[in-house]
Amino acid sequence: MLRTGTIGGRPVRFSWVDAVVILFVFSLLYVIVRLGSGMGVPFSPGEGPQISLDWRMLPYYAGRSLLRMFIALGLSLIFTFIYGRFAALHARAERIMIPLLDILQSVPVLGFLSVTVTAFLALFPHRLLGAEFAAIFAIFTGQVWNMTFGFYHAVSTIPRELREAAAIQRFDGFTRFTRLELPHGMISLVWNGMMSFGGGWFFLAASESISVLGQNIQLPGLGSFMAKAMTEGDIPALLEAIVAMVIVIVLVDQLFWRPLVAWSQKFKMELSNAQDPPRSWFLDLLRRSKVSAWIARHIFGAAYRALDRAILHTVMARRQATREQRGKGVVRRALAWALTSVIAIGAAYYAWIGVNEIAALGWADLGQAVLLGMFTLLRVMASTLIALVWTIPVGVAIGTNPRASRIAQPVVQILASFPANMFFPLIALLYLHLHVNFELGAIPLMMLGTQWYILFNVIAGAQAIPNDLKEAAKVLRLRGWERWKTLILPCIFPYVITGCITASGGAWNASIIAELVHWQSTTLTASGLGAYITETTARGDWPRIILGIVIMALLVTLVNRFVWRPLYQLADRRYRIEVSGR
Amino acid sequence: MAALLELRHITKRYDAPGEQQVSVLQDIDLTVEEGEFVAILGPSGSGKSTLLRIIAGLVRASSGEVRYRGQPIKDTNPGVSMVFQSFALFPWLTVLENVELGLRYKPLSEEEKRQRALDVIDMIGLDGFEGAYPRELSGGMRQRVGLGRALVMEPDILLMDEPFSALDVLTAENLRRDLLELWLERKIPTKSIIMVTHGIEEAVYMADRAVVLSRDPATVIADIHIGLPHWRERKEEAFTRLVDRIYSILTHSREAHQKTLITASGAQRRYVVLPPVQAGALTGFLELLDDLEIKSDLYKLADEIMFDLDELLPIVEAAQLLGFATVSQGDISLTEVGKRFAAANVLERKEIFRAQLHERLPIFERIRWVLESKRNRRMPREFFLEVIRKNVGTEEAESQLDTIIDWARYSELFAYDESTKVLYLEDDDEAAHA
């Protein structure tokens, strides 16, 4: 019955593919061990490890960066499963947990970085591990919300009859999770994971090299390499780093995400076969290989089956037990109450401290922060609008041309993943030469990383314009502006809004590093909340750091509520093209 | 000895928050003995599926008790398994894995589980498809998997929620026969089958007993023993007589239901539940009746226009409700108004329709009145939803309002803007001035 290792019933022989796979597995194991051992290197603040600008060190640095990214991804997954599932299954908790998630999502992660670095350094003094954790935590907070939302949504939209089928068969929690919830959420999980991972590079680059409380901490990694190349003005090293970054992004995409996306298609809910499913050459290769099939079956498969059996055993034993004696529910409920109250009390306590610290600042400070927030808000809006102006025509041109979009889409995806903040100093140099006003000059910096999300979505939207509508427009002889107004813009509108939401969220985060840029000894500053947070962080001015972050989170939440959400709902209601029939 | 299954005074109310509660099921008593195949029949929206889910323990009754072998059930009923209308297979699991899941908590070795699953797959005629995924199968085969998954649990009671209604006619018939064969020849250890259906023919063809529910709220109005020997012939007189009898019980309950409504409407203006029928479908049906020009037997009519009798029922009900047609003893005929309507042109039809709405369904008058008394002549959908919710409960209210809006749009009684979700009056005067 289990037909692993065959494709279309054709038996597979041992081949060169297997040799490659073996090599791959071994190298993977080695790299993880080798890189992991580097994490615990002793470290005393002030004199961190030296970053070498030798290009031969790049693979090692790339590996260290990758390791951070994957650890963060793993943590994000664990958080996603626990939080997303709990919120979806407990109506009472859901009412608190989902709005909370919405707010957490609006907290500028990079503003948080200073707080977490200090906290983790305090937890692991004299060790690089603290900074390591802080960097991972920054990437984690950049990735996790999106994935959690996706999974929560997937679990809460499981069709009623499937839920009932699970209930009739008396599934326990584990069985429900592995047979129903996880598979049902798989496609969204992989997709959101891929998007979040791409966005994670930005946070990685920002968090590997950071100055906090007057200290400059540098973790070995691609981000630090680039930061150092910048500070020393070493252009060849900078180019090498960029090439390495692109290679890493492409490799991860081709060897990890593409195969996962292709594989996850088997969890599609539609009971019919898709027309043009995503494919991956690497997954095809793995499926053709006997060794990977053997590993899948005898290592991962066996481990999973053993776990499954063990859990089934305990479940059956417990069911037997509960039939004999009841009353555990009371203990459990008491525990839940205790836990909830501890969390609530803790949250209240820290909120009280925070409020007190901010209250000590007085109205002038508050006014200043809000004013600066308005400046940043204007920049965020401007960056999104300017991005729209060029991405819509270009994206539509690409999207309506199948050949162009086949080439452009992967390129745009890499551009979106590439940490734009690595270029900031270079552009700052340009500004210095051309005497550009940095108050305005910060806007392109914010755009640099976020515009690709809009472009990506516009291309997807243009591709999705239904053929009959295009033909109808032709028959009606719609041309020029008329054609744009009645056909193209309404069709791509939902996609544009989706892109704008992602882009403006990214721009808020970018503001923290885009409004204050160093090039060697020169510093360019734009007046804005981002620069305010960065400056107060460097000084270690806690009340103002908190104030800055709170104001920014508040602004992001308000803009989401009153600008983006209504627009999104409008798009969903009026302009969503339903694909009916087949 | 205790009966296999007993329902005692089952009542299900849906809570409309802060309002009077709406009963879906009212005081239902039912006893099912070993060896019985029971069909539960009722008009759409009568809560038969809810009743089945209460038996399964998936939905909790507001009051009353379900007893399985004399024991009141608390959680999921330990003696049942269920076949779903939409099959409810796990699309990411193969046929074998889907079926095997039914054995997950049985104290068997893995080999035994596999063997049993394979045996069941053989039995339901899916030999050779063990490794296939549901998406590779046709609808009929998917429902066979659904059946297999239920049977492998070896339940005492097999519950089926409209198991054939998502299948085409031939496939459904094929599967009905196969299931009946398993049941009649005792190839499965199942002690009793309870099937919810809206197909009267289906019930008479398969079951030993037809329990007929009324609506708003549902009560048991008939419990009919079907004593015909198997295999039954649909053309036989005894068979058609039974179908006709059940049919007239169903329509009679509607008429009785309506009479109370109409007599009450003068004094109390109670809300009348509308069948979910588009105005377009109704006009088409009236035209058809007019063309036939004679009293028609509904059962034959449905057959002739290739409609499932049960698809036709809501349309018939709408026609009755609006006074366009009358039904007596399974025959339908147009009223005077109905004839006038069928002969009229588009504009006149709207007028007649409007008049009937006004006369017979107070909710339309009320909505119109609310809109007229507002200065801007607009009111959000949510407002009326709240009003209807008080009468029919949250689940039904949305579809009721959709039907109301459809009928009102057709007759130009009032208009509706979907994007703002507002009901409004089209202002002819203002339009003329502007």
pLDDT of residue A2: 29
Could you tell me how far CA A191 lies from the centroid of its own chain?
A: 10
3-class state of residue B166 by DSSP: coil
Of A60-69, A278-287, A432-441, the poorest mean pLDDT is in A278-287
Q: For all residues of chain B together, what is the average pLDDT?
A: 85
Mean pLDDT of B288-314: 74
Least confident segment among A162-171, B125-134, B425-434: B425-434
Chain B CB contacts of A319 under 8 Å are 105
**Higher-pLDDT residue of A286, A376:** A376
- Cα–Cα dist B199/B42, whole Å: 9
**pLDDT level of residue A414 (50, 70, 90 thresholds):** confident
Calpha distance A77→A97 (Å, rounded): 17
The chain A residue lying nearest B134, using CA atoms, is A271
Q: How far apart are the first and last CA of chain A?
A: 32
Cβ of B85 within 8 Å of Cβ of A161? The answer is yes
Closest residue in A to B76 (Cα) is A168
Averaged over B303-311, what is the pLDDT? 71
Residue A410 preceded by cis peptide, ω within 30: no
Give me the mean pLDDT over the A228-252 stretch.
Answer: 87
- Asked if A146 contacts A128 with a C-beta cutoff of 8 angstroms, the reply is no
The mean per-residue pLDDT over the stretch B277-287 comes to 89
For residue B92, give the nearest of A3, A164, A267 by CB distance. Answer: A267
| Chain A interface with B: residues with Cβ < 8 Å | 1, 3, 159, 161-162, 164-165, 167-171, 175, 179-180, 183, 186, 266-273, 312, 315-316, 319, 570, 573-574
pLDDT at B1: 64
What is the rounded average pLDDT of the residues B109-119?
Answer: 92
Contact B37, B208 (CB under 8 A): yes
Please report the ipTM that was assigned to this predicted complex. 0.72
Question: At residue A87, does pLDDT exceed 60?
Answer: yes
Per-residue pLDDT band at A469 (split at 50, 70, 90): confident
Least confident residue range of A253-267, A369-383, A530-544? A530-544
Average pLDDT for B349-377: 88
Is B430 an interface residue toward A (CB < 8 Å)? no
> Quick one: average pLDDT of B61-68?
92
Over range B392-415, report the average pLDDT.
86
Question: Any idea which of A360-364, B18-22, B29-33, B320-324 has the lowest mean pLDDT?
Answer: B18-22
Predicted confidence at residue B289, as pLDDT, reads 85
Kindly identify which residue of chain B lies nearest to residue A184, measuring between CA atoms: B92
Chains A & B: contacts with CB separation below 8 Å:
78
User: Within an 8 Å CB–CB cutoff, is residue B84 touching chain A?
Assistant: yes
Pick B58's closest partner by Cβ from A164, A175, A272.
Answer: A164
Say yes or no to pLDDT of B236 above 80: yes
The amino acid that residue B297 corresponds to is D
Task: Give the pLDDT of residue A1.
Answer: 29
Percent of chain B clearing pLDDT 90 (strictly above): 36
B88 in reach of chain A (CB within 8 A): yes
What does the DSSP 8-state code read for residue A531?
H
CA dist B188 and A58 (Å) reads 68
Cβ distance A183 to B419 less than 8 Å, yes or no, reads no
pLDDT for the residue A4? 29
Q: Would the CB atoms of A270 and B135 count as touching at under 8 Å?
A: yes
Question: In the predicted model, is pLDDT for residue B5 greater than 90?
Answer: yes
B422 touches chain A (CB under 8 A): no
What's the pLDDT at B430? 45
- Residue A228 · residue A53 · CB < 8 Å: yes
Average pLDDT value for residue range B289-297: 75
**A481-511 pLDDT, tens per residue?**
888 888 899 888 988 988 888 888 888 888 8
A5 pLDDT tier (thresholds 50, 70, 90): very low
Q: Which residues pair with A127 in a beta bridge?
A: A42
Q: For the whole model, what pTM was predicted?
A: 0.76
The dihedral through the CA atoms of B127, B130, B134, B137 has a sign that is negative
Q: Is the pLDDT of residue A579 over 50?
A: no
Residues B270-293, mean pLDDT to the nearest whole number = 84
C-alpha–C-alpha distance, residues A506 and A387, integer Å: 13
pLDDT computed for residue A27 by the predictor:
57
Chain B residue with minimum CA distance to A3: B131
Percent of chain B with pLDDT over 70: 90
Instruction: Report CA torsion sign: B165, B166, B172, B177.
Output: negative
The two tokens of residue A497 are: 């809004």
Comparing alpha-carbon positions, the chain B residue that sits nearest to A266 is B92
Q: Which residue has the higher pLDDT, A7 or A439?
A: A439
Give the model's confidence band at A41: pLDDT under 50 very low, under 70 low, under 90 confident, else very high.
low
Residue A372 has pLDDT above 90, yes or no: yes
Q: Which residues of A touch B121 (CB under 8 A)?
A: none
CB contact under 8 A, A1 and B131: yes
CB contact under 8 A, B88 and A573: no
Q: What pLDDT does A34 receive?
A: 57
Yes or no, beta carbons of A179 and B131 under 8 Å apart: no
State the pLDDT confidence band at A404, using cuts at 50, 70 and 90. confident
Closest chain B residue by Cα to residue A308: B104
Q: What is the pLDDT of residue A98?
A: 78
The pLDDT assigned to A9 comes to 33
Task: Write out the DSSP string of A216-232.
Answer: EEE-SSHHHHHHHHHHH
| More confident of the two residues B260 and B60 | B60
* Contact call for A1 and B134, based on CB within 8 A: no
Q: What's the start-to-end Cα distance of chain B, in Å?
A: 81
Rounded-to-10 torsion of CA A138, A140, A143, A149: -130
* A208-212, A341-345, B117-121, B325-329, range with greatest mean pLDDT: B117-121
Higher-scoring residue by pLDDT: B148, B215? B148
Mean pLDDT of A203-226: 80
Residues B21-42 have pLDDT tens digits of: 677 888 999 999 999 999 999 8
Which is more confident, A346 or A236? Answer: A236
Residue with tokens 């990758």: A66
Domains of chain A: 50-288+361-574 (1.10.3720.10)
The band of A24, judged by pLDDT with boundaries at 50, 70 and 90, is low
Taking CB atoms and an 8 Å limit, are B56 and A168 in contact across chains? yes
Chain A residues within 8 A of B102 when measuring between CB atoms: 169
| Cα–Cα distance, B106 to B113 (Å, whole number) | 8
Which of B15 and B371 is assigned the larger pLDDT?
Answer: B371
Higher model confidence: residue A553 or residue A41? A553
For the cut 50, the answer to whether the pLDDT of residue B331 exceeds it is yes
CB of B151 within 8 Å of a chain A CB? The answer is no
Q: Under an 8 A CB cutoff, do B58 and A170 touch?
A: no
Contact of B138 with chain A, judged by CB distance below 8 Å, is answered with no
Alpha-carbon distance of A303 to A284, in angstroms, equals 24
Residue A264 has pLDDT above 80, yes or no: yes
* Residue type for position B345: N
Decide: helix, strand or coil at residue A486. helix
User: What pLDDT, on a 0 to 100 scale, did the predictor assign at position B122?
Assistant: 92
Query: Per residue in B153-186, pLDDT tens?
Result: 999 999 999 999 888 888 889 999 999 999 999 8
Q: Give the number of other CB atoms < 10 A from CB of residue A17.
A: 19
Q: Mean pLDDT in chain A?
A: 80
**pLDDT > 70: percent of chain A:** 85
In the block, tokens 């745009």 appear at A412
Q: Do A164 and B53 count as a contact with CB atoms less than 8 A apart?
A: yes
Query: What's residue B268's pLDDT?
Result: 44
Tell me the mean pLDDT in the region A54-59: 86
pLDDT of residue A177: 92
Greater confidence (A26 vs A212) lies with A212
Higher-pLDDT residue of A425 and A533 is A533
Distance from CA of B101 to the nearest CA of A (A): 8
**In the prediction, which pLDDT does A381 show?**
93
CA distance A337 to A343: 10
